[in-house]
């Protein structure tokens, strides 16, 4: 088993990564919690809820709440119903919330924990590849129809218990989604890591040891950044590479129409294109795109209104005075934040979306 400690402004917590550790969750908790609410989704509940429940002793009161699987659950109604569940279960400030699932459950349950009684403890038990990113760093949120994660908080968990055995049941689309954030971690940190991912070819044929290597490196990149800049006043913005357009696409298509990682993948390609123009640098754009095609990323999203996308990009949390701020690359491993002029953005987006469909 691997463990990484993350220091925050208010506490420190450990990210434990290993096989079968969902069966022994209390081992990773520093306190005894008399009452616990496990929040999960309808798919994960059938697979892993009993394992996690059974890991607690019989004198602990365990409540469960199951939300529909998918991005659409990160909304105000699910949030409010979960708060009601906390009240009905008489949770208090000594209780624990467990987020058992992917990034949707992690963000939603984390925001419930951050809000209920102005904050109670919670633990992340991630079950997707993408959640190597979402479970670390304490960003919790729900979506607004006008934009992703516009309602949220920075609220670190007490622990992250990442049982990588759960990844074996993931469908292909979710492996693909998670790999977009792994690629992102490679692009912002280290060319060798990035090359290792794309040269390995098909993500469905990877050996367990290669997958684990990519995953652990991704967690290490994320951990190092969030520890230095927990509340995103500077370099944490680099973790948003690909998200300015990615989030706009998710919201514009309707939450859940494509996965977060698939939208981020398109956003990564666009960020590379803009970087090429702004910094007059060559990037392995075509090789990355070929890798994405080979792995069936949906790159031909059609019918997107370019003006609407730009309007949404301006509502992104990095915006300043209605100007789009994008994370770009000076080179691989050297990210930066750059204000992109409206006219240039429109020109590049128009060209990019046309090329995306055609080549
Ligand atoms: N807080 C952060 O720092 C952060 C970082 C990245 C992404 N996110 C957020 O994470 C969300 C996406 O997370 P996600 O990709 O994990 O999506 P998700 O939570 O919707 O999970 C994807 C799908 O896989 C299913 N699933 C989960 N675990 C499974 C398993 N082990 N076996 C089989 N099926 C399983 C789920 O039921 C769901 O249908 C987005 O809302 C995104 O904004 C947050
Ligand atoms: O942890 C971060 O910081 C990130 O930006 C990680 C992203 O992968 C993640 O999707 C995050 O939720 C985006 O944050 P947001 O502030 O743009 O909503
Ligand atoms: Zn993301």
Concatenated DSSP letters of 320-341 = BTTBEEEEEEEETTEEEEEEE-
Annotated binding-site members for NAD(+): 103-107, 127-128, 139, 148, 166-169
Whether this prediction's pTM lies above 0.80 is answered by yes
Alpha-carbon distance 6 to 15, whole Å?
8
| Segments of the chain with pLDDT less than 50 | none
Alpha-carbon distance 97 to 37, whole Å?
5
Ligand 1: which of 45, 69, 102, 141 to mutate, most ligand atoms within 8 Å of CB?
102
Does the C-beta of 43 come closer than 6 Å to ligand 1? yes
Report pLDDT for 302: 82
Cα(282) to centroid of ligand 1, in Å?
33
Phi, psi (degrees; rounded to nearest 5) at 133: -90, -55
Report pLDDT for 303: 83
Alpha-carbon distance 285 to 47, whole Å?
38
Cα(240) to centroid of ligand 2, in Å?
6
Cα(5) to centroid of ligand 1, in Å?
23
Ligand 2: which of 133, 140, 182 to mutate, most ligand atoms within 8 Å of CB?
133
Does the C-beta of 246 come closer than 6 Å to ligand 1? no
By the 8 A CB rule, do 142 and 262 touch? no
ipTM over 0.95 threshold: yes
* Three-state DSSP class for residue 14: strand
Report pLDDT for 82: 99
Does the C-beta of 100 come closer than 6 Å to ligand 1? no
Report pLDDT for 359: 66
By the 8 A CB rule, do 152 and 107 touch? yes
Q: What domains are there in the chain, each with its CATH number?
A: 2-169 (3.40.50.1970), 190-358 (1.20.1090.10)
Residue ranges around ligand 2 (CB below 6 Å): 133, 137, 139, 148-149, 181, 232, 236, 239-240, 243, 317
How far, rounded to the nearest angstrom, does the alpha carbon of residue 305 sit from its chain's CA centroid?
Answer: 25
Ligand 1: which of 19, 70, 78, 103 to mutate, most ligand atoms within 8 Å of CB?
103
Q: How far is CA 1 from CA 13, 105, 194, 202, 212, in A?
A: 16, 24, 24, 26, 11
């Amino acid at each position: 088993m691997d463990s990484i400690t993350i220091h925050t402004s208010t506490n420190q917590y450990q990210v434990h990564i290993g096989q079968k550790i969902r069966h022994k969750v209390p081992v990773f908790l520093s306190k005894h919690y008399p009452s616990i609410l496990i929040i999960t989704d309808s798919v994960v509940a059938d697979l892993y809820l009993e394992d996690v429940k059974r890991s607690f002793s019989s004198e602990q009161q365990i409540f469960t709440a199951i939300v529909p699987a998918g991005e659409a659950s990160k909304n105000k109604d699910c949030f409010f119903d979960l708060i009601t569940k906390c009240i009905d279960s008489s949770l208090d400030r000594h209780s624990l919330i467990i987020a058992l699932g992917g990034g949707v459950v992690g963000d939603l349950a984390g925001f419930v924990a951050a809000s209920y009684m102005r904050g109670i403890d919670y633990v992340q038990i991630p079950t997707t590849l993408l959640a190597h990113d979402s479970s670390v760093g304490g960003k919790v949120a729900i979506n607004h129809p006008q934009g992703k994660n516009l309602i949220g908080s920075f609220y670190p968990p007490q622990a992250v218990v990442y049982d990588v055995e759960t990844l074996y049941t993931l469908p292909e689309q979710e492996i693909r989604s998670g790999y977009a954030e792994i690629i992102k971690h490679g692009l912002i940190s280290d060319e060798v890591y990035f090359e290792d991912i794309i040269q390995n070819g098909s993500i469905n044929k990877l050996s367990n040891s290669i997958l684990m290597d990519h995953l652990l490196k991704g967690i290490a990149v994320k951990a190092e950044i969030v520890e230095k800049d927990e509340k995103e006043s500077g370099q944490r913005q680099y973790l948003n590479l690909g998200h300015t357009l990615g989030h706009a696409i998710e919201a514009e298509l309707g939450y859940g129409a494509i996965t977060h990682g698939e939208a981020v993948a398109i956003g990564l390609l666009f960020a590379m294109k803009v970087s090429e123009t702004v910094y007059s640098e060559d990037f392995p754009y075509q090789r990355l795109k070929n890798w994405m095609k080979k792995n069936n990323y949906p790159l031909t999203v059609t019918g997107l209104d370019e003006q609407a996308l730009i309007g949404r990009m301006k509502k992104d949390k990095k915006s300043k005075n209605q100007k789009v701020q994008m994370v770009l690359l000076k080179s691989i491993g050297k990210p930066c934040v750059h204000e992109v002029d409206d006219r240039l953005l429109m020109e590049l987006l128009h060209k990019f979306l046309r090329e995306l469909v055609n080549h």
